[in-house]
Amino acid sequence: MKTINIAIDGPSGAGKSSISKAVAEELGFIHVDTGAMYRAIGLYALRHDCISPEQMISHLPEIHIELKFIGGVQRVLLCGEDVTDYIRSPEVSMAASAVSAIPEVRAHLLDLQKKIASENNIIMDGRDIGTVILPSADLKIFLTASAEERASRRYLELREKPDCPSYEEILKDILQRDENDMHRETAPLRQAEDAVVIDSSDLGFHLVVETITRLIKEKLD
Ligand code: DC
């Protein structure tokens, strides 16, 4: 059976995950958040003090990543442990960014990502989905927003929490992750030539969800 594959790429904090989730719900597709896989490996690196790429690579044979979908919602399992609730801290974000630059780590996740796409109708979000993982996706979206807008959205999300970082710290973190994701040698973040670019800096959440849902429906008609 031919499955429907939609690729959504873009920088950190552009809203890819929440928007992909809403679009997937609307269409009855599965939303696959590939960043969660890199985050799970980042968590592993922190727990096992894997500081150098060589250390990380030597641990890869022990690292088993699985995804489960409960009521359409993704859970990520690291060696059988559900780590979904432990992978959103700033430390794990930085560790995920670092491990995702290691080609062997990317290769470790490639088959799993392709397999899920070949078996399900999916909206898959990440950095290299349209360029590397699903080059023949039915539709590719590059979802972006200015770094300042992404930092201010993140700040609004976090500001009620204890130890909330300042806006300036969040912006610095976002700029650093953009730099890592765009300038690494393997599968850097870039727009696929045939991607539709959506800059959400001045667009509300619902408008972006509606626009992407419409683009997908038009493509499938
Ligand atoms: O989307 P996110 O912020 O949860 O992703 C976490 C890190 O993983 C981010 O630094 C970029 C990296 N990543 C990647 O290199 N390739 C992907 N397909 C998804 C995420």
Whether the Cβ atoms of residue 164 and residue 158 lie closer than 8 Å to each other: yes
204 CA to middle of ligand 1, Å?
23
Least confident of 50-59, 102-111, 112-121, 152-161: 152-161
User: pLDDT, tens digit, for every residue of 170-199?
Assistant: 999 999 989 988 998 888 999 999 999 999
82 confidence band (pLDDT: 50, 70, 90): very high
- Residue 184 Cβ inside 6 Å of ligand 1? The answer reads no
What is the atom index within ligand 1 of the atom nearest the CA of 184? 15
Q: Where are the domains of the chain?
A: 5-208
Which residue has the CA at smallest separation from atom 9 of ligand 1? 97
Q: Whose alpha carbon is nearest atom 15 of ligand 1?
A: 100
- pLDDT tens-digit readout, 99-138: 999 999 999 999 999 999 999 999 999 999 999 999 999 9
Pocket test for ligand 1, best of 87, 97, 144 (most atoms within 8 A of CB): 97
Q: 128 CA distance to ligand 1 centroid (A)? A: 9
Note whether 52 and 213 are within 8 A (CB): no
**pLDDT band of 213, cuts 50, 70, 90:** very high
Write down the pLDDT at residue 101.
93
**Over residues 88-97, mean pLDDT:** 91
Which CATH number applies to 5-208?
Answer: 3.40.50.300
3-class DSSP string for 16-76: HHHHHHHHHHHHCCEEEECHHHHHHHHHHHHHCCCCCHHHHHHHHHHCCEEEEEECCEEEE
Pocket perturbation via mutation, ligand 1, pick of 86, 127, 184 by most ligand atoms within 8 A of CB: 127
CB 130 within 8 A of CB 198: no
Q: Closest ligand 1 atom, CA of 97?
A: 10
Higher pLDDT, 80 or 154: 80
| Separation between Cα atoms, residue 158 and residue 151, nearest integer Å | 11
130 lines ligand 1 (CB under 6 A): no
